[in-house]
Amino acid sequence: MRLSFLPQKLGEQQDETMLLVSVNECSSNGSSSSSSAAANSTTTRRNNSSSTTPSIFKMKTSMQDESLLASEDIFTSHHHTKYHNSGSIYKQHPLAPKNNYKNISVSFLSDRTIQIIKIQRPEVKNAIDRRTADELYQAFFDFEKDVNARVAILYGSETDFCVGADLKAVSEGNLNQVEPVTKTAKGPLGPTRMSLSKPVIAAIGGGYCVAGGLELACWCDLRVCKTNSIFGVNCRRYGVPLIDGGSIRLPTLIGLSRAMDLILTGREIDGKEAHKIGLINRIISKDENVLDCAVKLANQLCVFPQLCMRNDKTSALEAAYSGKSMKEKLQREYELGLTALNIETVKGAKAFVNRKSKL
């Protein structure tokens, strides 16, 4: 099983799939059969639709993830995920956790399009030890493979999001797994070296989102928080480095000058300042429910044509984080754009003309 750290160029992954997390080896024969069935289904569907949707943009594409293909009614129906309030019970799907998770929980909303991955170590403010990191990694790996799941929400609690590595465990010699980037896609805190094709939202309740917890939040695509949330590189005072992408992502998100202020001084900022400097995308009062806010945002993302949205996300991430030239970045945007144009754009244009879409 191999996961890419950064999105790869077209043609570098097996079978020319556009998945950023490529699954080259399945853990069981059953999962291998499922992948083959999905591939056959995709091929049949593409052949059947070729006569009705002209391929006016010439580019060879091959998809193995059925969820990336535009569904027949994606432009003609709401595709809204049923919204749940904070008082509701998030339905646990029987097939959700493939492992016996101890420190996290994985749940779905009723139609499985939104997946909630919750860190459950409140006694240590959701600090992440090695087992928790492994569980988070597995949960996001399964999320990427799930053809029904469209958006994931990473959630701590309505109090603390995460305070980073479990320093008590570290002090006892139980360090999180730290390996060279070229060897594995697993970061010390779990998923921080993964590049997923699907959006991930960090739901940050009031309380701490600091050190490695801040790095986890920066790894997510969008962040929502309460005004009384606390952010900071608190690990500065304990000699713990930013090793889960924080020194890369934080300057990209808020600018080098602001990032250096936080990284060098270790000072804390509240949710209002975090929102002001661009670290946070949505902010709510301390009396509101942050998970409700995240679910509402996830609902908005679920209704869009998924392939186009994911490819634009990929292009933006590559442009922001790769060391490529502007010409190379434009070429990559063009390649990803063509894939969506061939599969979704023509149908979307027809729906616009016919005013069938309510997006």
Give me the DSSP letters along 76-110: TS--PPPP--TTSPPPPPTTS-SS--SSEEEEE-T
- 3-state SS class at 268: strand
Q: Tell me the C-alpha distance between 80 and 304, whole Å.
A: 9
Tokens (6 digits) for 282? 């949505």
Residues 193 and 249 in one domain: yes
Residue 238 domain boundaries: 104-302
Q: What is the pLDDT of residue 310?
A: 96
Domain closes at, from 286, 302, 318: 302
Q: Does the model's pTM come out above 0.75?
A: no
Residues 22 and 166 in one domain: no
Number of domains in the chain: 2
Residues 44 and 142 in one domain: no
Q: What is the pLDDT of residue 98?
A: 52
Span 55-92, pLDDT tens digits: 333 333 333 333 333 322 322 222 333 333 333 333 34
Of the ranges 3-7, 45-49, 144-148, 171-175, which is most confident?
144-148
Q: What is the pLDDT of residue 186?
A: 85
Contact 318, 249 (CB under 8 A): no
Residues 138 and 33 in one domain: no
Is residue 253 exposed (0-12), middle (13-18) or buried (19+ Cβ within 10 Å)?
middle
Span 299-332, pLDDT tens digits: 999 999 999 999 999 999 999 988 877 788 778 7
Tell whether 175 is covered by a domain. Answer: yes
Span 135-181, pLDDT tens digits: 999 999 999 999 999 999 999 988 899 999 888 887 777 777 777 77
Residues 218 and 348 in one domain: no
Residues 289 and 211 in one domain: yes
Residues 52 and 147 in one domain: no
Rounded to a whole number of angstroms, the distance between the first and last alpha carbons of the chain is 37
**Is the model's pLDDT at 97 over the cut of 60?**
no
> Which CATH number belongs to the domain containing residue 169 in this structure?
3.90.226.10
Residues 67 and 108 in one domain: no
Task: Count each helix (H run) and each strand (E run) in the chain, helices first.
Answer: 11, 9
Of the pLDDT bands very low, low, confident and very high (cuts 50, 70, 90), residue 189 is very high
Tell whether 279 is covered by a domain. Answer: yes
Q: What is the pLDDT of residue 180?
A: 74
Percent of the chain with pLDDT over 70: 68
Residues 274 and 126 in one domain: yes
